[in-house]
Amino acid sequence: MSKIQIAKAKRLRSTPYTSRLEQQGLTAYTIYNHMLLPAAFEDSMEDSYYHLKENVQIWDVSAERQVEISGKDAAKLVQLMTCRDLSKSKDGRCYYCPIIDDQAGLINDPVVLRINENKWWLSIADSDVILFAKGLAIGKKYSVNIVEPNVDIMAIQGPKSFALMEKVFGKQIRELKFFGFDLFDFRGSKHLIARSGWSKQGGYEVYVENTNSGLELYDYLFEIGKEFNVKPGCPNLIERIESALLSYGNDFDLHDNPLECGFDKYVNLDNDIEFLGKQKLSEINASGVSKKLMGVKINLDRINLSQAIEITIDSKRVGELRSAVYSPTFNQVIGIAMIDKPYFEVGTKVNIIIDNVTKAGSLCNIPFV
């Protein structure tokens, strides 16, 4: 942690839960989509990691903002922005979709919710997708309406999330399939709930549109969650790197393409659908990628990464470390690195210079677990 404070302002938007969180032991924020995203509580990151893997946590992930695209050309615009074939998509389902530009550079990697053929929500990572969508729609003269609706996501994550949510919403919430969503009633208010979330420990995301009902639900979950050892939490760096949940802006950005990031199964080239960057992706697919995201294990017992760190072999730069954390599971530092061709082979020995000391590491596949 930097020990440097965050200077609050209206521009760094608060969420409906902010004042509650600050009374619940929140100690650090990050900023995501111009909004406060909790990043640490009084418990250490490692304690919170074990807690998440064994219990249940409530996360304020309001910063996962929605871009709502509705209207006659909504489906066409959403498809234009992603290399994933959505022609067989169904209402009530979530789709993880790389959004790319005409050069196949990654703009975002939202979870796309198909509410219906003419109304979609893009639950976005940290970039202003709304501006890209607006620019495209204006330029193409599409008949769409594009807004950021008043939706603040509350995530319930961890193995005990199922029992906790059943206690509130009944047995039918157990029947929701992974990446399915439906409306569920809480004291007379309907909430869109998806079985999803930014951990691999299982759980739900409540897309809160009725703020007052959401706050009541938040309080109620803590009240009845005591038997499941519920705690406030946030996306956990150890858990997300072990699971290789990639982070836009950290692990990849506009200078990387989906094939370099291992998104191959979301790159659908053999079809007639129209999307940006299709030709470029076909060329890259034919010639092969020139760099690739890999896991790396490093002989270190702590790290604090705030910018990319060079990775070398015999003093030659072969890539860069983009995310890293000490993993208690592996008893060493693990990280996600973009590695140049031809060095992106599992088992390749590399060096990483940290605080002027050269450390040894080796490349591996992701996810780590």
Binding-site ranges for its own copies (CB under 8 A): 1-14, 22, 26-31, 34, 39-40, 101-102, 107, 126-140, 247-250, 254, 276, 304-308, 322-323
3-state class (DSSP) for residue 25: coil
CB of 150 to its own copies, least distance (A): 12
Size (the chain), residues: 369
Exposed e or buried b per residue across 253-270, where buried means at least 16 C-beta atoms within 10 angstroms of its C-beta: eeebbbbbbbbeebbbee
CB of 31 to its own copies, least distance (A): 4
CB of 293 to its own copies, least distance (A): 14
**Quick one: 127 or 161, whose CB is closer to its own copies?**
127
**Rounded distance between C-alpha atoms, residue 9 and residue 4, angstroms:** 16
**Quick one: 243 or 250, whose CB is closer to its own copies?**
250
Q: What tokens appear for 29 in the block?
A: 């924020």
CB of 11 to its own copies, least distance (A): 3
Query: Which is nearest to 176 in space by CA: 194, 153, 189?
Result: 194
**Quick one: 212 or 304, whose CB is closer to its own copies?**
304
**Quick one: 299 or 304, whose CB is closer to its own copies?**
304
**Rounded distance between C-alpha atoms, residue 197 and residue 210, angstroms:** 20
CB of 163 to its own copies, least distance (A): 30
CB of 367 to its own copies, least distance (A): 19
3-state class (DSSP) for residue 238: helix
3-state class (DSSP) for residue 212: helix
**Quick one: 29 or 204, whose CB is closer to its own copies?**
29
Contact 108, 52 (CB under 8 A): no
The CA-CA-CA angle for residues 89, 92, 98, to 5°, reads 50
**Rounded distance between C-alpha atoms, residue 72 and residue 142, angstroms:** 8
φ, ψ dihedrals at 137, nearest 5°: -65, -40
**Quick one: 26 or 318, whose CB is closer to its own copies?**
26
**Rounded distance between C-alpha atoms, residue 157 and residue 205, angstroms:** 8
**Quick one: 225 or 335, whose CB is closer to its own copies?**
335
Residue 110 CA to chain centroid, in angstroms? 7
Q: What tokens appear for 5 in the block?
A: 């404070």
Q: Where would I find the H helices in 55-128?
A: 74-81
CB of 30 to its own copies, least distance (A): 5
**Quick one: 305 or 313, whose CB is closer to its own copies?**
305
**Quick one: 132 or 186, whose CB is closer to its own copies?**
132
CB of 253 to its own copies, least distance (A): 9
φ, ψ dihedrals at 344, nearest 5°: -80, 55
For the chain, the C-alpha Rg in angstroms (whole number) is: 21
CB of 186 to its own copies, least distance (A): 25
Query: Which is nearest to 66 in space by CA: 21, 9, 121?
Result: 121
